[in-house]
Amino acid sequence: RKVQNVAVLGATGSIGTATAEVITHLNQTDTESEWRMWAASGHRNLDGLMQIAAAADPGPQWLVMSDPESAKTFADTRKDLIASNNLTGIRLDYGSDALIEVAQHPEVDVVVAAIVGRAGLESTLAAVEAGKRVALANKETLVVAGPLVRRAMQASGAEILPVDSEHSAIFQCMGPATIAGSDCPAPKPKKLILTASGGPFRTWSKQQMQSATIESALDHPTWDMGPKITIDSATMMNKALEIIEARWLFDLPADAIEVVIHPQSIIHSMVEFDDGSVLAQLSPPDMKLPIQYALTYPRRLPCASPGLDRGRQWDLTLEVADLERFPGLALGFEVAAAGGTAGAVVNAANEEAVGLFLDGQIRFTDIVSGCRDVLANHTHESDPPLARLLELDRWARLETRNRFKL
């Protein structure tokens, strides 16, 4: 079997642990390829990383704890931890530079970019520059630096396969149509229709949302995800980020992207073609399918998660998205249309504001209004280099805190 070495960056997170399950499943079922978690990273959760490494078969060669402070924290215990997890002989590095080394290592075939937030940018870009197959969960990288990632991809020949379920759905719907062995060219879509569950506050009034608690915002009705994206789903900033992600991933203008509310999270997104025909991709809300497809594309193999239960009552509904109650959505369309520095600024303001909300320092509705204010306070530039984007990222975080006098 052909060996596929996978580097899972952000292995201790929600996508990371689902990826570990997918790799184990593929290794037991794929007759063509042998799947290995060759490297894995965590940021602070050393115990979690050790457990993932110990459960992987074959086990990884290289572990990275990207938080440099971890080296101090774990200096005394790491030898014991490594020995007690039977991981002796594995290379263990601390600090984010090692992420880049891993992402570009010649032994690595696929990089799963599953770090949360702008922190995933450098390693994701490094993997793209090295011409890897990148299974991209880290949407923030495209939001901050979409055009730079596209250019790097074109220069290196890297493949970016979406893991985000909506973008995977669109990618699957756009695939070339093949009729009985005669290949047709893939038609260009007219519209991308992103579905959104609507999150826990889908039916809440603006006023109710003003006093939304952390607990209620973290209680997502259909998806089990990390805390940052769960709050993003409640504000619908997640959909805003996905509009921008789609704009760069599929190279379509913002006005070719639409959002509809679909509370059941079964239809993961849709594509409309010039003749008005709309194709959709359906599966249960489980990230293992899009993760696996990004790894095995173009092959489709039996999946670790069960398919749709077609024996049950179907109740799939679509609703018009309410940009009034969810102003984050309108912001997403604006930022996707503006391009340039707008994505980096809004993404940083959002990351900072989500952190402040989770710390109990600002109200739920402050998150999106904060993003809008910080965006309005910056002077737009249309073709910024990476250094400028990173500078604006730092500026927008400070500006967000200043806005709330923190």
Q: Which residues bind ligand NDP (CB under 6 A)?
A: 10-16, 42-45, 48, 66, 114-116, 119, 137-140, 164, 223, 225-229, 287
* Peptide bond just before 298 cis, omega within 30 deg: yes
Judge whether 5 is annotated as a binding position. no
139 has binding-site annotation:
yes
Q: Which stretch binds Mg ion (CB under 5 A): 59-67, 94-102, 157-165, 261-269?
A: 157-165
> Which residues 6+ apart lie within 8 Å of 11 measured at CB?
17, 19, 20, 37, 40, 41, 42, 49, 52, 114
165 assigned binding-site residue: yes
Our CB check for ligand NDP shows the closer of 118 and 401 to be: 118
Report in angstroms how near the CB of residue 137 gets to ligand NDP at its nearest.
3
Q: Which does 329 bind (CB under 5 to 8 A by kind): Mg ion, ligand NDP, none?
A: none
User: Please, what is the minimum distance in Å from the beta carbon of residue 280 to Mg ion?
Assistant: 15
Q: Which does 290 bind (CB under 5 to 8 A by kind): Mg ion, ligand NDP, none?
A: none
Q: Does 140 bind Mg ion (CB under 5 A)?
A: no
By beta-carbon proximity to ligand NDP, the closer residue of 46 and 362 is: 46
The nearer residue to ligand NDP, 132 or 220, going by C-beta atoms, is 220
In whole angstroms, what is the distance from residue 145 CA to residue 125 CA? 9
Rounded-to-integer distance, Cα 71 and Cα 94, Å: 6
Supply the minimum distance, in Å, between the C-beta of residue 15 and ligand NDP: 4
Rg of the chain over CA atoms, in angstroms?
21
Q: How many residues bind Mg ion (CB under 5 A)?
A: 3
Q: Which residues, at least 6 apart from 282, have a Cβ–Cβ distance to it below 8 Å? A: 266, 267, 268, 308
27 vs 138 by CB, closer to Mg ion: 138
Q: Examine residue 164 and tell whether it contacts Mg ion (CB under 5 A).
A: yes
Instruction: Tell me how far, at minimum, the Cβ of 254 lies from ligand NDP, in Å.
Output: 20
Tell me which of Mg ion, ligand NDP, none is bound by residue 370, counting a contact when its beta carbon lies within the kind-specific cut-off of 5 to 8 angstroms.
none
- The region, left, alpha or beta by phi > 0 then psi within -120 to 50, assigned to residue 2 is beta
116 binds, among ligand NDP, Mg ion, none (CB under 5 to 8 A by kind): ligand NDP
Type of residue found at 278: V
Q: How far is the CB of 172 from ligand NDP (least distance, A)?
A: 15
Q: Which does 321 bind (CB under 5 to 8 A by kind): ligand NDP, Mg ion, none?
A: none
The answer to the question of whether 48 is labelled as a binding residue is no
The alpha carbon dihedral of 343, 349, 352, 355 has a sign of negative
Residue ranges of the annotated binding site for Mn(2+) are 164, 166, 242
Interacting residues with Mg ion (CB under 5 A): 164-166
Residue ranges of the annotated binding site for NADPH are 12-15, 44-45, 138, 140, 226
